[in-house]
Amino acid sequence: MKGGISFPPGVFQKSDIYLYRRWKQVQYLADLFWVRWKREYIPLLQKRNKWVMKKESFRKGDLVMVVDDMKPRNIWNLGRIVKIIEDEDKKVRVVEVRVNKDKNSLDTTILKRPITKLILLKRNHELF
């Protein structure tokens, strides 16, 4: 719940767990937790029952988390969908999301992301 940005202090390898320095071991274990959390828990938040049941698609104003594999743990952006882009079959596959440029400023930018890289947190009508 701190207000500042917390970056991971470095990149760690499997061999770091065997070192006597407790700090590196804790950081390695935290990185392992983050990798498992992304691989095992995040997919559970957005189930895709494509052929089994009908599901409402993303809508303008929905609150989403933008999955970014290039960013370290706990730095994924929250955003709000500003535009829906439909393909020729009238299916939503890409949306535009407004996110903050960084956590310390109010400047925003618009990113175009596929819906597979978004996690729906709250619908627009559920926010108020």
Predicted local confidence at residue 96, as pLDDT: 94
Block residue for tokens 């895709």: 48
36 within a domain of the structure (yes/no): yes
Q: Taking the alpha carbons of 109, 111, 115, 119 in that order, is the dihedral positive or negative?
A: negative
**CB contact at 8 A, 96 and 81:** yes
Element (H, E) at 117: none
9 within a domain of the structure (yes/no): no
55 within a domain of the structure (yes/no): no
Same domain (yes/no): 71, 114: yes
**Looking at the 3D structure of the chain, how many domains does it have?**
2
107 within a domain of the structure (yes/no): yes
**pLDDT tens, position by position, 22-63:** 777 788 888 999 889 888 888 787 766 655 566 678 889 999
- What are the φ and ψ backbone dihedral angles of 90, each rounded to 5 degrees? 65, 30
Q: Residue 22's Cα: distance from chain center in Å? A: 30
Count the neighbouring beta carbons within 10 Å of the beta carbon of residue 47: 10
Predicted local confidence at residue 40, as pLDDT: 87
**pLDDT tens, position by position, 77-123:** 889 999 998 888 878 889 999 988 777 778 888 999 998 888 888 88
Full residue range of the structural domain in which residue 111 is found: 63-126
